[in-house]
Amino acid sequence: MRRCSIILAVFFSLGLLVLPTGSVHAQGAGQGLMNAISYKALPQGTTFSVQAMDNSDQNMVLKAEFERLLKSKGFSISKDAPLVITFETRNELGSYTTRNRRSVLELQAHGGREGGEDARMRFNLFDSNSGGMFNQGKGETSLRTPGQYRLDVSIDNRTNGKRHWQAWTTTNQDRSGGGAQIMAMVPEMVQKMGKKVKSHVFDLF
């Protein structure tokens, strides 16, 4: 056992033990995360104009959904309204990390109740997969943060240029292409419009 302990001490001192780490996601599958800043209270019974940063087909569908939901809450929609709701959609790529799998020192232990009576240490000179003293190995690539769909919304006063409200929602990407997920963020945006929101997790569907 003492021999095994000495070998383990050498193993740790060389810094060859790599502990796996996992990323923490702000929201789970089928959920969105919302944040919002309120700069100035919205006037009661005001009229809005809704515009997209670009006139893609998807954004025109979103614009119509914003207007429909606003009308259902009693707001009026007018092209020349004093308060302008501007929105933008984004597709943010995920980030990846590569961990070196190089393995120079290998420890083996067999026998006894704790497996330490027949311990030995072996230097790995070359390994095409994990690497050794004379090569680096293939390495491992893992997902650090997932890709996200994002919806940004701001409300500005066109008469004086001042901002009343700014908000953004995100959700982790899936294989659906994002259109349905971004559309599902709109009701939460309209529901929380004008309010201060911090790290609010909500269900998309």
State pTM to two decimals: 0.64
Report residue 171's pLDDT band, with 50, 70 and 90 as the boundaries.
very high
pLDDT tens, residue by residue, 25-78: 446 778 999 999 999 999 888 899 999 999 999 999 999 999 999 999 999 999
pLDDT value at position 30? 85
pLDDT value at position 126? 58
Do you know the residue count of the chain? 205
94, 99, 101: which is closest to 144 by C-alpha? Answer: 94
**201 compared with 177, residue with greater pLDDT:** 201
- Ordered by where they begin, the domains of the chain are 2-18+102-143 (no CATH), 31-95+145-199 (3.30.160.670)
Q: 121: which strand partners?
A: 107
7: its two tokens: 């070998």
Helix (H, G, I), strand (E, B) or coil at 148: strand
Q: By the 8 A CB rule, do 161 and 154 touch? A: no
Spatial separation of the C-alpha atoms in residues 199 and 168, rounded to whole Å = 10
172, 147, 28: which is closest to 95 by C-alpha? Answer: 147
Task: Among 113-122, 124-133, 138-147, name the one with the lowest average pLDDT.
Answer: 113-122
What does DSSP say about strands 197-203 and 163-172: parallel, antiparallel, or unpaired?
unpaired
pLDDT value at position 22? 34
pLDDT of 161 over the 60 cut: yes
**118 compared with 198, residue with greater pLDDT:** 198
pLDDT value at position 169? 97
What is the residue-averaged pLDDT of the chain?
A: 76
- The CB density around residue 116, as the number of other CB atoms within 10 Å, is 17
134, 125, 140: which is closest to 20 by C-alpha? Answer: 140
Q: By the 8 A CB rule, do 145 and 21 touch? A: no
Task: Among 59-63, 82-86, 113-117, 179-183, name the one with the lowest average pLDDT.
Answer: 113-117
b/e per residue 15-46 (b: at least 16 CB within 10 A) = eeeeeeeeeeeebeeeebbbebebeeebeeee
State the number of CA atoms in the 13 A half-sphere of 124 facing the CB. 19
pLDDT of 128 over the 90 cut: no
pLDDT tens, residue by residue, 100-109: 555 555 555 5
Report residue 164's pLDDT band, with 50, 70 and 90 as the boundaries.
very high
pLDDT value at position 174? 76
The percentage of the chain sitting over the pLDDT mark of 90, rounded to a whole number, equals: 50
30, 70, 13: which is closest to 189 by C-alpha? Answer: 70
